[in-house]
Structure 1
């Protein structure tokens, strides 16, 4: 555990590759500059950080705190927020996206940071797992690095949503889930991203993959699937992951440029609701400095670059 005497912020590592619990912080818009800097440093170092006991937070407080870390985006490029345009409810009533992904990679301007707050938790299950995509890249043998350093992939929001959710009901897909899927795909986005991106703050290289990948460019569909599965398996090795057991008042913040995550659908038909905000990011660049390229869709309304 490390602690800053100046800010009272203590960082408790949860694993060697990813994850830390942050103590001594009451999140909100009035957090000091020194405390914000300590939180950001812990985030960059540990990829995902967790806060207990933040029961005082509501949507406004969550947004006020997020604004100290960066520019808050719209809730989502296609899904309309019901109450607040910057807050996306992650609600089991509308589906369970239980597959590995990085948030909103189907647009060019991928969010830099996501902040998730527990609102209503099931009595059991519903944990979330994060994986360190930097550690996954660094652990690749040189032969695989040579292969993936020049690879590119097409990401899209028109992915096989039904194959990645656990919301099948008698007679077919639940109506609310189908409505959410239709809204999610209401505007088509396709973007070419490098499989290996360079982190704009740390300079680290990470694997940019997840379930929004449609295919890898320049190889056959069979080869694309095989390579994707090989690399995804590297990302999700248990040594690269941390599993968070949610409690009331919890907040999780992750570096969306260096992680994937997976919400585990093991809580039956119990209600589960969390509120997410995202912070504006940059357009990823490859190792040789080539930026991602839009194929379809304009996400300028979602966030600035």
Structure 2
């Protein structure tokens, strides 16, 4: 296996690897996992694997999860089908910086995404290193956000386009989660900036240290949250991947965000993702 770095801070391409073999080769899987912890997102080309192989490889990291809104393959639980065809509206919401499913109490550990069909141009995906985004924060901001928590909502994101009854039912099934604004990566020990487009507000900002009068509360908290979320848009922390059929991305969801670029309609883009259940951030 050869590892070729793609940027200074994030991303590497694995060359000379057959992921189907990694489903049973412990040494190969261990090498891939070590590379993932170091580079945070890995890319491979020309992986002629089956859906069963896809699920089997992802399952080596842990148990897989389904998605309550996106559809899954009926024969392969945990394999979410993200199919955008010519019947999909061109203004369909897709492109926002996010860390997968932080509205869960236990957001995913990571995911394995395979390209089935893609446009001849466009439809790239960008990943960003949120450990580096935290590391480079000014010292006074680090002090301000130490100990802060934020609310993450599926109702305010996936639920926003639903009729009110369905939106409320979705929230009842998946209540808002509360996570630290800065989490500790459970394997590397890195501090990670852990707010994204699913975060709606800080839950413990309105204290005497931050707010003298009520007027300080809403703009003070929302401005700080928007500033932190915007750190994902800094190019120096990013890697951009151009898809081809049978290309694969493997990412650590605990320390990255990603952005699916919606610049390809009218064209077809079909992806299949296996998401791995994670742990509660702390």
Matches within 5 A, 1:1-305: 9-28=1-20, 30-54=23-47, 56-68=48-60, 70-77=61-68, 79-83=70-74, 84-93=76-85, 95-161=92-158, 186=170, 187-217=173-203, 218-219=205-206, 220-285=217-282
Classify 1:205/1:282 alpha carbon distance in 2 versus 1 (closer, same or farther; 3 Å).
Answer: same
Classify 1:31/1:14 alpha carbon distance in 2 versus 1 (closer, same or farther; 3 Å).
Answer: farther
Contact 2:69 2:158 in 1 (8 A): no
**1:228, CA displacement in angstroms?**
1.7
Give the TM-score taking structure 2 as reference length: 0.86
For residues 6-26 of structure 1, give each alpha carbon's deviation from its aligned partner in whole angstroms, at most 9, with x where no partner exists.
Answer: xxx111001111000011110
Contact 2:62 2:277 in 1 (8 A): yes
For structure 2, which runs of at least 5 residues remain unmatched after alignment? Answer: 207-216
Structure-1 separation of matches of 2:24 and 2:236: 33
Structure-2 separation of matches of 1:266 and 1:233: 21
User: Please, which moves more after superposition, 27-36 or 266-275?
Assistant: 27-36
Contact 1:116 1:274 in 2 (8 A): yes
Contact 1:86 1:277 in 2 (8 A): yes
Query: What stretches of structure 1 move > 6 A for 4+ residues in a row?
Result: none
Classify 1:221/1:85 alpha carbon distance in 2 versus 1 (closer, same or farther; 3 Å).
Answer: farther
Structure-2 separation of matches of 1:257 and 1:31: 25
Structure-1 separation of matches of 2:199 and 2:23: 39
Classify 1:49/1:229 alpha carbon distance in 2 versus 1 (closer, same or farther; 3 Å).
Answer: same
Classify 1:203/1:96 alpha carbon distance in 2 versus 1 (closer, same or farther; 3 Å).
Answer: same
- Aligned alpha-carbon RMSD (Å): 2.2
For structure 1, which runs of at least 5 residues remain unmatched after alignment? Answer: 1-8, 164-176, 286-305
Contact 1:157 1:184 in 2 (8 A): no
Structure-2 separation of matches of 1:185 and 1:74: 20
Give the TM-score taking structure 1 as reference length: 0.80
Contact 2:134 2:193 in 1 (8 A): yes
